[in-house]
């Protein structure tokens, strides 16, 4: 199962596909895997990313300018899978591009590409009936977000619907780096532990090695997104190398879990 | 909708359901609508316009006479009172034409809330008078310069604010859009338009109209006037979308002409989008209709055939503005002028014994600059 975490904390990395272009995204992801990323979230750019801060908004705009599509992201996933058998691959998307492709077709193509799961940012668990059926039928893992504002009964539903791991949102807000880890984060992970035995990955706002280490004390995995995307933005021409260095620095903090 | 907002939406739904059944809440809202907003609004017989078009007898529902100049205040007062009940003190809103922003800023001043309004920078340019009004009322107006710099982008930014400050902030959404309970709640606060119009026309004419025409951006004024006529099957309900400058994707906001089912900003409805599910840019001379999706209840009314939706172009709306100004002395908002444009096409084909009501959802002061640019009168 590629969605199993072998390190503590495991590193889940997010990248906006097609920024600056799909060939570079492929190099970035392979370099990150080589450097120790355990799970890769392949971000599908969307015109109206309401849950994202400025960094991912800019990346999405760049990716859409040359017409990056969900179909292309799935093709990219298949290419990455050829080179990386044991890394978890998750499609990270807003709902509309998936609806437009069709839930059933999306799951079928994703499975064939070797994708392990999906996370739809703006699909709450109570609206997910059709999605969950299609995902289950194709043996794909749905991952849901849990928020600091989610009451206990929602956490329970989120945990029950999720496979692989649950994604805990560290604070109220959009994606993007923050100087400090919110107090909400620890509390939410603690509450999730009571609701589920699934591993918990914590994301939103984590960008530094110090924060990565801090989160590693209480969560099973850390999601790093905007910091990766910003590294891509700031290192034109040497994106893959720069992301590789960054991921290596974070990975060095984790310790291997015995199998 | 992002998970972070789900608890707030559930809280809002509970608060609204309780308020709906609470006589004290309803009485306070009714009093504010009457003594502050100026309800009921008149239903005016447009004699000269009726003669000029030579067909159906035309009545205008004068929402433009409400305080702040448009129907938007109905919903803002309702949600404002809900904010009080929920114990929140900060209100955010999006605005396109600025009418909802002004109404929100007004209610926040009235009830003592902090107010932040998000507005596309393109809309701030073309509706600058309303930007100043909001600031005069004490609201902070934040410009949004992503996408097409219009209403959709303002909603994105308002949602980002809400997701960050959800514990203290209420999002006072201005149309029948967004996640549940907004489309239902906003509709309920605007139902008063149709309720009044129905009683007024029965009193004036002793019968129901053959047709009701209203413009549809998100669709709040139209659903407001349609709703109490839904069971009167002989009353034709006609929504008018922004036909813009051409039928090409990106040149208009006619969701029923070029859109397909999709999800935008928490609403499953008809959406203008490309083959990959990316939301299309839109254009309309009227900022309030310039939006790529439409209220889900309109989508249902259209699919069931109960209501009909047609586009009116920028040019037709501008021509209708002049016509209404010169026959009846009423300068309507460019949004409402789209409804008048459809009236111009439809009334002459109707019988003289038939009645048509047009909802004049707002007044045109805010659009004077655009009218001046486009009408070449002076």
Query: What is the per-residue pLDDT across A36-92, written as a single tens digit (0 to 9) for each?
Result: 999 999 999 999 999 999 999 999 999 999 999 999 999 999 999 999 999 999 999
- Residue ranges of alpha helices (H) inside chain B are 3-21, 23-32, 47-53, 73-86, 99-111, 121-126, 128-136, 151-165, 182-205, 220-226, 255-258, 296-304, 314-328, 334-346, 368-375
Furthest-apart CA pair in chain B: how many Å? 56
**What integer pLDDT is reported at residue B20 of this predicted model?**
96
Does residue B366 register a pLDDT over 60?
Answer: yes
Query: Distances from the Cα of B336 to the Cαs of A80, A120, B364, in angstroms?
Result: 53, 38, 9
Identify the sign of the CA torsion A95, A99, A101, A105: positive
What pLDDT digit, counting tens, does each position of A96-149 carry?
999 999 999 999 999 999 999 999 999 999 999 999 999 999 999 999 999 999
Contact between B4 and A172 using a beta-carbon 8 Å cutoff: yes
**What integer pLDDT is reported at residue A228 of this predicted model?**
98
Q: Is the CB of residue B243 less than 8 Å from the CB of residue B316?
A: yes
DSSP label of A235: S
Nearest-Cα distance to chain A for B343, in Å, is: 35
What pLDDT digit, counting tens, does each position of B275-287 carry?
999 999 999 999 9
Residues of A within 8 A of B159 (CB-CB) are 50
Does residue A259 register a pLDDT over 80?
Answer: no
Mean pLDDT to the nearest integer, B116-125:
96
Nearest-Cα distance to chain A for B292, in Å, is: 12
**What integer pLDDT is reported at residue B377 of this predicted model?**
81
**What integer pLDDT is reported at residue A180 of this predicted model?**
84
Nearest Cα residue in chain B from A50: B156
Contact between A101 and B8 using a beta-carbon 8 Å cutoff: no
Does residue A186 register a pLDDT over 60?
Answer: yes
**What integer pLDDT is reported at residue A258 of this predicted model?**
63
Contact between B3 and A147 using a beta-carbon 8 Å cutoff: yes
- Identify which of A100, A124, A174 has the shortest CB distance to residue B6: A124
Percent of chain B's residues with pLDDT above 70: 100
- B333-B90-B122 Cα angle (round to 5): 35
Neighbours of A156 (CB within 10 A): 16
Nearest Cα residue in chain B from A67: B276
Chosen for mutation from B12, B181, B263 (greatest number of chain A CBs closer than 10 Å) is B263
What region, left, alpha or beta, does residue A140 occupy, with left being phi > 0 and alpha being psi -120 to 50 degrees? beta
What pLDDT digit, counting tens, does each position of B139-164 carry?
999 999 988 889 999 999 999 999 99
Does residue A257 register a pLDDT over 90?
Answer: no
**What integer pLDDT is reported at residue A1 of this predicted model?**
61
Q: Is B330 helix (H, G, I), strand (E, B) or coil?
A: coil
**What integer pLDDT is reported at residue B304 of this predicted model?**
98
> Among all chains, which residue has been given the structure tokens 């699919």?
B303
**What integer pLDDT is reported at residue B189 of this predicted model?**
98
Mean pLDDT to the nearest integer, B45-69:
98
Nearest-Cα distance to chain B for A34, in Å, is: 31
Q: Is the CB of residue A144 less than 8 Å from the CB of residue A132?
A: no
**What integer pLDDT is reported at residue A179 of this predicted model?**
86
Q: What's the whole-number average pLDDT of chain B? A: 97
> Among all chains, which residue has been given the structure tokens 């009940």?
B85
| Token pair belonging to A156 | 């329970």
The pTM of the full predicted model, rounded to 2 decimals, is 0.96
Mean pLDDT to the nearest integer, B360-364:
97
Residue B24 burial (10 A CB sphere; 0-12, 13-18, 19+): exposed
Residues of B within 8 A of A70 (CB-CB) are 276-277
| Token pair belonging to A193 | 């532990």
Q: Is B148 helix (H, G, I), strand (E, B) or coil?
A: coil
A182 at the B interface (CB within 8 A)? no
Does residue B237 register a pLDDT over 80?
Answer: yes
Q: Is B45 helix (H, G, I), strand (E, B) or coil?
A: strand
A132 at the B interface (CB within 8 A)? no
Distance of CA A66 to the CA centre of its chain: 23
What pLDDT digit, counting tens, does each position of A227-243 carry?
999 999 999 999 999 99
What pLDDT digit, counting tens, does each position of A196-207 carry?
999 999 999 999
| Token pair belonging to A120 | 């739809």
Catalytic residues of B: 72, 94, 361
Contact between A151 and B263 using a beta-carbon 8 Å cutoff: no
**What integer pLDDT is reported at residue A205 of this predicted model?**
93
Q: Is the CB of residue B331 less than 8 Å from the CB of residue B365?
A: yes
- Residue A227 CA to residue A205 CA, distance in Å, equals 8
A255-256 and B43-45 strand pairing = unpaired
Catalytic site residue A122? no
**What integer pLDDT is reported at residue B378 of this predicted model?**
76
Chosen for mutation from A17, A59, A122, A195 (greatest number of chain B CBs closer than 10 Å) is A122
Residue A182's pLDDT band, with cuts at 50, 70 and 90, is confident
Does residue B209 register a pLDDT over 60?
Answer: yes
A175 at the B interface (CB within 8 A)? no
- Residue A159 CA to residue A73 CA, distance in Å, equals 27
- Residue B241 CA to residue B311 CA, distance in Å, equals 5
Query: In terms of Cα–Cα distance, which of B313, B345, B343 is closest to B214?
Result: B343
- Residue A181 CA to residue A170 CA, distance in Å, equals 8
Q: Enumerate the β-bridge partners of residue B317.
A: none
- Residue B114 CA to residue B102 CA, distance in Å, equals 14
Interface subset of B 121-150, CB within 8 angstroms of A = 146-147
Mean pLDDT to the nearest integer, B128-133:
94
Q: Is A37 helix (H, G, I), strand (E, B) or coil?
A: coil
Catalytic site residue A126? no
| Token pair belonging to A51 | 């849950």
Contact between A47 and B6 using a beta-carbon 8 Å cutoff: no
């Amino acid at each position: 199962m590629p969605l199993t975490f072998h390190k503590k904390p495991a590193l889940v990395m997010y990248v906006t596909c097609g920024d600056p272009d799909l060939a570079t995204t492929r190099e970035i992801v392979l370099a990150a895997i080589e450097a120790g990323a355990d799970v890769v979230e392949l971000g599908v750019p969307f015109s109206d990313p309401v849950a994202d801060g400025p960094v991912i908004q800019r990346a999405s705009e760049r990716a859409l300018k040359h017409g990056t599509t969900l179909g292309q992201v799935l093709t990219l996933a298949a290419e990455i899978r050829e080179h990386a058998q044991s890394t978890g691959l998750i499609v990270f998307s807003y709902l509309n591009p998936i609806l437009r492709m069709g839930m059933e077709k999306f799951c079928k193509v994703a499975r064939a590409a070797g994708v392990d799961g999906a996370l739809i940012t703006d699909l709450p668990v109570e609206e997910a009936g059709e999605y969950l059926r299609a995902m289950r039928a194709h043996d794909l893992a749905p991952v849901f977000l849990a928020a600091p504002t989610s009451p206990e009964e929602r956490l329970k539903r989120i945990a029950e619907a999720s496979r692989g791991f649950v994604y805990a949102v560290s604070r109220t807000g959009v994606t993007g780096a923050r100087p400090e880890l919110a107090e909400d984060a620890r509390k939410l992970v603690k509450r999730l532990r009571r609701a589920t035995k699934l591993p918990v990955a914590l994301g939103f706002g984590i960008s530094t090695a110090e924060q990565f280490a801090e989160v590693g004390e209480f969560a099973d995995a850390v999601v790093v997104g905007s910091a990766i995307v910003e590294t891509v933005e700031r290192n034109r021409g040497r994106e893959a190398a720069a992301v590789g260095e960054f991921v290596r620095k974070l990975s060095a903090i984790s310790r291997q879990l015995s199998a | 909708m992002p998970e972070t907002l789900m608890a707030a939406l559930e809280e809002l739904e509970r608060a609204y359901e309780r308020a709906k059944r609470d006589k004290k809440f309803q009485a306070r809202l009714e009093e504010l609508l009457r003594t502050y907003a100026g309800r009921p609004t008149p239903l005016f017989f447009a004699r000269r316009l009726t003669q000029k078009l030579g067909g159906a007898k035309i009545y205008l529902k004068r929402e433009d006479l409400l305080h702040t100049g448009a129907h938007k205040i109905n919903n803002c007062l309702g949600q404002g009172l809900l904010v009080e009940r929920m114990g929140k003190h900060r209100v955010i809103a999006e605005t396109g034409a600025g009418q909802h922003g002004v109404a929100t800023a007004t209610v926040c001043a009235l009830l003592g809330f902090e107010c932040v309004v998000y507005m596309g920078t393109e809309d701030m340019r073309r509706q600058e008078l309303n930007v100043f009004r909001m600031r005069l009322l004490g609201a902070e107006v934040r410009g949004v310069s992503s996408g097409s710099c219009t209403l959709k982008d303002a909603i994105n930014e308002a949602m980002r604010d809400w997701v960050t400050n959800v514990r203290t902030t209420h999002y006072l959404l201005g149309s029948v859009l967004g996640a549940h309970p907004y489309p239902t709640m906003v509709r309920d606060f605007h139902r008063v338009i149709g309720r009044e119009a129905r009683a007024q026309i029965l009193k004036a004419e002793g019968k129901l109209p053959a047709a009701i025409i209203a413009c549809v951006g998100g669709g709040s004024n139209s659903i407001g006037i349609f709703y109490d006529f839904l069971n009167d099957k002989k009353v034709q309900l006609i929504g008018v979308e922004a036909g813009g400058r051409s039928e090409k994707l990106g040149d208009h906001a006619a969701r029923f002409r070029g859109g397909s089912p999709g999800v935008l900003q928490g609403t499953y409805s008809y959406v203008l989008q490309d083959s990959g599910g990316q939301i299309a840019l839109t254009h309309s001379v009227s900022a309030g209709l310039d939006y790529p999706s439409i209220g889900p209840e309109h989508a249902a009314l259209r699919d069931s055939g109960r209501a009909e939706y047609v586009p009116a172009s920028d040019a037709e709306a501008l021509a209708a503005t002049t016509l209404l100004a010169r026959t009846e002395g009423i300068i309507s908002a460019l949004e409402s002028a789209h409804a008048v444009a459809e009236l111009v096409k439809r009334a002459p084909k109707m019988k003289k014994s038939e009645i048509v009501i047009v909802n004049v959802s707002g007044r045109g002061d805010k659009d004077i600059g655009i009218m001046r640019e486009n009408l070449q009168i002076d």
